[in-house]
Amino acid sequence: MENKENQALQNLSTTNSKMIQIIKPCDILKAKPMINSIKTNGVTYYEKIIMQALSKCLMSLGIVSSQEHIKGLTSDLIEVYKHDSVEDIVEALKAGRQGKYGKTYNKLNMIIIHEWMGYQLEAKAILREREHEKVKKDNKDLEQVIDYNKVKERIDNEREGKKDLTDKERDYRNIKFNYQVKNKDGFVHESNPKLKK
């Protein structure tokens, strides 16, 4: 009986080995929730991926389990974590079997997986915060390069007419105004008699 179960688990893990690839932290942050694409990919797509990850986890921990147990865990994971990505589930199972969350157990059930998912989602939140801080820092550096006070002062001066325009600036503004005065058909508006052909 145990041989048949182990053989079934081994067959499952070898047939779907190409479905799960190495997951990088940037991929985890870009991963979409399963619920967004269940209609497109179907539930069986996610079932195969999660069943493969569960099989690898069970085999590496030396736990013998039936196909029904794996299917039950798979459907529970999809139901409970449908608003998270399948990559989160796979990564949690991978890190759990590697002992990254502390003690490994001689059994695997939803309580243990739920604990591992908590660690995984917390790690994802930390990665997201780091990315957000990086973006904020980059934007702050940009603000230091651009002196917004000088930009505002220049715009205010132009609006108030305090700045004397050079001949080139005046010509440019006239050309720009003349271009804007034309309507979409290319005809000159009657409001500006200087522009008549």
For the CA atoms of 76, 115, 12, 9, what is the dihedral angle to 10 degrees?
-110
Residue 74 has a CB neighbour count (10 Å cut-off) of 21
Question: Whole-number mean pLDDT of the chain?
Answer: 75
Stronger pLDDT, 163 or 105, i.e. the higher one: 105
Dig out the tokens for 13 from the structure: 């893990």
- Of 179, 180, 181, give the one whose Cα is nearest residue 191: 181
Angle at 30 between CA 133 and CA 138, to 5 degrees: 25
- The answer to whether residue 47 scores a pLDDT higher than 50 is yes
What CA–CA distance (Å, rounded) separates 42 from 40?
6
User: Residue 19: its pLDDT value, please?
Assistant: 38
Residue 121 has a CB neighbour count (10 Å cut-off) of 14
**Alpha helix ranges (H) inside the chain:** 2-15, 25-30, 34-41, 43-61, 67-80, 86-97, 110-145, 148-160, 167-181
- Of 74, 155, 61, give the one whose Cα is nearest residue 106: 61
For the CA atoms of 6, 7, 12, 14, what is the dihedral angle to 10 degrees?
110
Q: Is 99 helix (H, G, I), strand (E, B) or coil?
A: coil
pLDDT in tens, 48-106: 999 999 999 999 999 998 999 999 999 999 999 999 999 999 999 999 999 888 888 88
- pTM passes above 0.85: no
What CA–CA distance (Å, rounded) separates 63 from 105?
9
Residues 13, 56 contacting (CB under 8 angstroms): yes
> Residue 165's pLDDT band (boundaries 50, 70, 90)?
low
User: Residue 161: its pLDDT value, please?
Assistant: 63
Dig out the tokens for 170 from the structure: 């005046």
> Residue 40's pLDDT band (boundaries 50, 70, 90)?
confident
Surface-to-core class of residue 91, CB atoms within 10 Å of its CB (0-12 exposed, 13-18 middle, 19+ buried): buried
